[in-house]
């Protein structure tokens, strides 16, 4: 009976979420033709907060003492499901955009929003000219004071554990001397796992860890930087997964 209720609840939440998204996003895209996105950032954050609410999630933010909300940075985060960008937008207390696969710009409504608001396209086919454009747009975003979200796994986890990190974002951070903020999304896998349609009522905790400086780092330092960031992000995620396993075992 309980499973049937959660299945019905998930179906209703998907319907409400879709109606909300496809009604509000065209309005924001329309505003984007006339206003700088910074001028209606509160409306965008409102969209993300309602997306969290309508999907059955609550968002809690935990900031480390060494996190500086005033520094333009790269926010490196684990990637769990399609709600991640919206949860991060709820949590990051500054104007932020992200790296987005260029093919995603073709998705109705979502792609229009990502393109109009100035997300940086990451080419699906890595030709030199496309990579140069990505670097240029990244530099322009940073120079304008826009922080960027990067998912270094480049795809979503299927079991909740972090995948291996790719070097690309770390090489850019090192070359441009942009500080890095590791971000842990904890609870996202319990909320919605990729490949399944159920939405579970869950608290998602977004950990904004201490800022990591990249100025002065050499190319040879990138692998160690990548591994350090992955370890920081992974720690609270693994702790939560282990606690869940212990709770499940005790219940059995």
Note the pLDDT of residue 234: 97
Q: Specify the 3-state DSSP secondary structure of 160.
A: coil
Mean pLDDT of 179-205: 94
Note the pLDDT of residue 107: 85
Note the pLDDT of residue 248: 67
Is 43 in contact with 31 (CB distance < 8 Å)? yes
pLDDT confidence tier of residue 204, bands split at 50, 70 and 90: very high
Is 131 in contact with 110 (CB distance < 8 Å)? no
List pLDDT tens digits, range 9-45: 999 999 999 999 889 888 888 887 887 888 888 888 9
Note the pLDDT of residue 131: 86
In a domain, 23, yes or no: yes
Residue 119 confidence (pLDDT) above 60: yes
In whole angstroms, give the CA distance from residue 250 to residue 219: 48
Q: How many helices (H) and strands (E) does the chain have?
A: 8, 7
In a domain, 214, yes or no: yes
Is 62 in contact with 207 (CB distance < 8 Å)? yes
Note the pLDDT of residue 37: 81
- CA 140 distance to own-chain centroid: 20
The chain-wide mean pLDDT, for the chain, equals 91
In a domain, 252, yes or no: no
Note the pLDDT of residue 147: 96
Angle at 33 between CA 76 and CA 20, to 5 degrees: 65
Residue 220 confidence (pLDDT) above 80: yes
Note the pLDDT of residue 41: 87
Note the pLDDT of residue 250: 67
Residue found by looking up tokens 């940086």 in the block: 120
Note the pLDDT of residue 75: 98
In a domain, 251, yes or no: no
pLDDT confidence tier of residue 109, bands split at 50, 70 and 90: confident
Please state, as a whole number, how many other Cβ atoms lie within 10 Å of the Cβ of residue 57.
24
Note the pLDDT of residue 243: 85
Residue 1 confidence (pLDDT) above 70: no
CATH number for the domain harbouring residue 152: 3.40.1130
Q: Can you give the pTM of this predicted structure?
A: 0.93
Is 233 in contact with 182 (CB distance < 8 Å)? yes
In a domain, 21, yes or no: yes
Note the pLDDT of residue 195: 87
Residue 88 confidence (pLDDT) above 80: yes
In whole angstroms, give the CA distance from residue 177 to residue 170: 10
Mean pLDDT of 65-93: 95
Note the pLDDT of residue 33: 80
In a domain, 15, yes or no: yes
- CA 2 distance to own-chain centroid: 31
In whole angstroms, give the CA distance from residue 149 to residue 154: 12
List pLDDT tens digits, range 47-56: 999 999 999 9
Phi, psi of 215 (to 5 degrees): -60, 130
Q: Which domain holds residue 205?
A: 2-246
**Region for 56 from its dihedrals, namely left if φ exceeds 0, alpha if ψ lies in -120 to 50, beta otherwise:** left
List pLDDT tens digits, range 144-184: 999 999 999 999 999 999 999 999 999 999 999 999 999 99
* Domain count along the chain: 1
Mean pLDDT of 194-218: 94
In whole angstroms, give the CA distance from residue 103 to residue 96: 20
């Amino acid at each position: 009976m309980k499973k049937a209720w959660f299945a019905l609840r998930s179906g209703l939440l998907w319907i409400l979420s879709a109606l909300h998204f496809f009604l509000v996003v065209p309005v924001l895209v329309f505003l984007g033709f006339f206003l700088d996105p910074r001028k209606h950032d509160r409306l965008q954050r409102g969209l993300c907060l309602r997306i969290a609410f309508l999907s059955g999630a609550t968002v809690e933010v935990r900031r480390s003492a060494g996190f500086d909300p005033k520094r333009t940075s790269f926010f490196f985060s684990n990637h769990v499901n399609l709600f991640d960008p919206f949860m991060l937008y709820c949590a990051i207390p500054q104007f932020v955009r992200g790296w987005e696969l260029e093919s995603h710009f073709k998705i109705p409504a979502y792609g229009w929003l990502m393109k109009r608001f100035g997300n940086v396209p990451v080419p699906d086919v890595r030709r030199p000219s496309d990579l140069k454009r990505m670097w240029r747009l990244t530099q322009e975003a940073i120079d304008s004071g826009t922080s960027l979200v990067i998912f270094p796994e480049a795809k979503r986890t299927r079991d909740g554990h972090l995948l291996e990190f790719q070097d690309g974002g770390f090489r850019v951070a090192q070359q441009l001397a942009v500080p890095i903020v590791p971000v842990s999304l904890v609870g996202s896998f319990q909320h919605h796992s990729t490949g399944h349609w159920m939405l579970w009522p869950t608290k998602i905790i977004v950990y904004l860890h201490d800022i990591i400086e990249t100025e002065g780092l050499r190319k040879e330092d990138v692998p160690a930087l990548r591994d350090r960031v992955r370890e920081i992000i992974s720690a609270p995620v693994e702790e939560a997964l282990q606690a869940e396993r212990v709770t499940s075992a005790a219940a059995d």
